[in-house]
């Protein structure tokens, strides 16, 4: 069969069809990935609430940061076009977000909704209504509402105040020390943002360390933070004053992961993924792929506005199965769907445990990956908190579903590189949440002409 990739027009959804020769196609060349999603949200939000102008280069121009931008614009923050190389945000200063005239829509973005809640709840005398798409409206918000209420926040919502749409009446909060039952950067960041305007010390302790982009960026903007890595605790000493900054956003390791796995599983591949953020709270996927004996090397390590960055070279080579769990999971929480694809082509059985959080992402990613990989002929077992993936079963093309989840859509597209026959991915437009140019880049790396 001749290799081909075809993406339909939106109607309203898009279908991505991929076909490659059975033994796969070699991916070669260099690829520059879009900006880090987590850092992009934080740059827009901290820029919005700081004094003065913030300039951001390399912002992710995907749907999730657009949701953040739309929410803050609706609260009186001026931002330049999210098309340009540099985005500027005119900060209104802490406490000065305006009451929006309409419901704030966080779209598909949990980070937008959860982080923003900390700010809304601490804006006295303003009323806010917030919602999102059907996926976001089904995701748990109690994890941020409970501690915010302990701080005195007034928040109501569906399902016993645990799901959006939510109503918030801002008020003056009091500081707490919150022991989070989950390692979640969204929970931690929500409370740190709530603590910015709160007099006294707001502390969050996590069971293991989640991504620390908020801590790094808050310090860069001038907030006074104490961090204790031994106890996974961080304290914001409020009230803070934030000053606009220049932020250069590194490439997103969560997006790089698709090419790292693509290169590792397709014979003949040799790829360099440029400008990848390698913050140690995010590099679990590199540790995992290295444990599977993937041939990945780090080139040109450097630091860019407080975040470590490098180019990553991946070459094809045989992979070995491994077991993953514990503290490694929060460090690669968004990469488990694509790690499952690597495991399909490894020798032996890969077991992923302690990953129950995947059930409350943009979709239930454990169920989604188990069912859709099974549809392609893989041997995958779903457990309450993980997956067991038997390596080296032959995959056969089928119609599969992304469930509207960007990472599921892109992971299935990478599996298609080593699948015999046609793989048809439904609701493939989801990729634009974090990687709008994913299909074009795949075409280019495979040496296929780009469709108009
Ligand atoms: C994110 C934190 C993670 C991650 C999400 C982005 C962030 O979520 O899955 O994609 O930017 O803080 P949790 O905090 O729910 O683990």
Measured by CA distance, the residue closest to atom 13 of ligand 1 is 184
Measured by CA distance, the residue closest to atom 9 of ligand 1 is 334
Q: Is 82 helix (H, G, I), strand (E, B) or coil?
A: coil
> 40, 18, 4, 32: which is closest to 259 by C-alpha?
32
Cα–Cα distance measured from residue 382 to residue 322, given in angstroms and rounded to the nearest whole number: 16
Q: For residue range 2-17, list pLDDT tens digits in order.
A: 889 999 999 999 999 9
Q: For residue range 212-221, list pLDDT tens digits in order.
A: 999 999 999 9
Pocket probe for ligand 1: among 45, 62, 109, 110, the residue whose CB has the most ligand atoms within 8 Å is 110
For residue 420, pLDDT beyond 90: yes
- Measured from the Cα of 42, ligand 1's closest atom is 11
Q: 317: CA distance to ligand 1 center in Å? A: 31
Residue 451: predicted pLDDT: 65
Q: How buried is 11 (Cβ within 10 angstroms: 0-12 exposed, 13-18 middle, 19+ buried)? A: exposed
Pocket of ligand 1 (CB under 6 A): 38, 111, 184-186, 189, 210-211, 333-334, 357
Q: Is 257 helix (H, G, I), strand (E, B) or coil?
A: helix
Structure tokens at 185: 């950067």
Annotation says 146 is catalytic: no
- Please give the share of the chain, as a percent, with pLDDT higher than 90: 96
Catalytic residue among 105, 334, 364, 405: 334
Q: 185-196 and 213-220 are packed helices; what angle lies between their axes, rounded to 10 degrees?
A: 30
Cα–Cα distance measured from residue 87 to residue 292, given in angstroms and rounded to the nearest whole number: 39
- Average pLDDT in the 293-322 region? 97
Residue 22: predicted pLDDT: 61
Residue 452: predicted pLDDT: 59
Residue 295: predicted pLDDT: 98
Residue 3: predicted pLDDT: 86
**What's the mean per-residue pLDDT of the chain?**
97
- Measured from the Cα of 115, ligand 1's closest atom is 12
29 band by pLDDT with thresholds 50, 70 and 90: very high
Residue 450: predicted pLDDT: 77
Measured by CA distance, the residue closest to atom 10 of ligand 1 is 334
């Amino acid at each position: 069969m001749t290799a081909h990739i075809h993406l339909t027009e939106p109607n309203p959804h898009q279908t991505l069809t991929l076909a490659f020769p059975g033994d796969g196609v070699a991916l070669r060349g260099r690829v520059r990935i879009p900006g880090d999603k987590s850092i992009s949200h934080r740059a827009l939000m901290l820029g919005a609430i700081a004094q003065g102008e913030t300039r951001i280069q390399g912002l992710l121009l995907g749907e999730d940061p657009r949701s953040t931008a739309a929410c803050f614009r609706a609260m009186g923050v001026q931002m330049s076009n999210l098309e340009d190389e540099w985005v500027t945000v005119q900060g209104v200063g802490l406490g000065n977000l305006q009451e929006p005239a309409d419901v704030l829509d966080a779209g598909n973005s949990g980070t937008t909704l959860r982080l923003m809640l900390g700010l809304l709840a601490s804006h006295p005398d303003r009323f806010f209504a917030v919602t999102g798409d059907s996926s976001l409206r089904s995701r748990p918000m109690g994890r941020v509402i409970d501690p915010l209420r302990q701080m005195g926040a007034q928040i109501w919502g569906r399902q016993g105040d645990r799901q959006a749409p939510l109503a918030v009446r801002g008020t003056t909060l009091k500081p707490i020390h919150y022991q989070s039952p989950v390692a979640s950067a969204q929970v931690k960041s929500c409370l740190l943002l709530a603590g910015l305007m709160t007099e006294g010390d707001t502390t969050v302790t996590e069971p293991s360390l989640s991504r620390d982009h908020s801590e790094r960026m808050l310090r860069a903007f001038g907030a006074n933070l104490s961090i204790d890595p031994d106890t996974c605790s961080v304290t914001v000493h409020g009230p803070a004053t934030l000053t606009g900054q220049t932020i250069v956003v590194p490439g997103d390791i969560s997006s790089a992961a698709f090419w790292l796995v693509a290169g590792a599983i397709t014979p003949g591949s040799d790829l360099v993924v440029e400008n990848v953020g390698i913050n140690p709270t995010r590099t679990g996927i590199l540790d995992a792929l290295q444990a599977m004996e993937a041939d990945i090397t780090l080139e040109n390590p450097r630091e860019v506005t407080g975040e470590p960055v490098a180019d990553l070279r991946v070459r094809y080579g045989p992979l070995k199965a491994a077991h993953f769990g514990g503290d490694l999971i929060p460090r690669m929480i968004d990469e488990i769907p694509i790690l499952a694809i690597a495991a399909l082509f490894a020798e032996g059985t890969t077991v992923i445990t302690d990953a129950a959080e995947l059930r409350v992402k943009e979709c239930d990613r454990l169920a989604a990956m188990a069912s859709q990989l099974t549809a392609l002929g893989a041997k995958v077992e779903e457990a309450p908190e993980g997956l067991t993936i038997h390596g080296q079963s032959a995959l056969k093309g089928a119609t599969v579903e992304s469930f509207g989840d960007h990472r599921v859509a892109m992971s299935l597209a990478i599996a298609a590189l080593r699948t015999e026959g046609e793989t048809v991915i439904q609701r493939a437009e989801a990729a634009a949440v974090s990687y709008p140019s994913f299909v074009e880049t795949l075409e280019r790396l495979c040496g296929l002409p780009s469709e108009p």
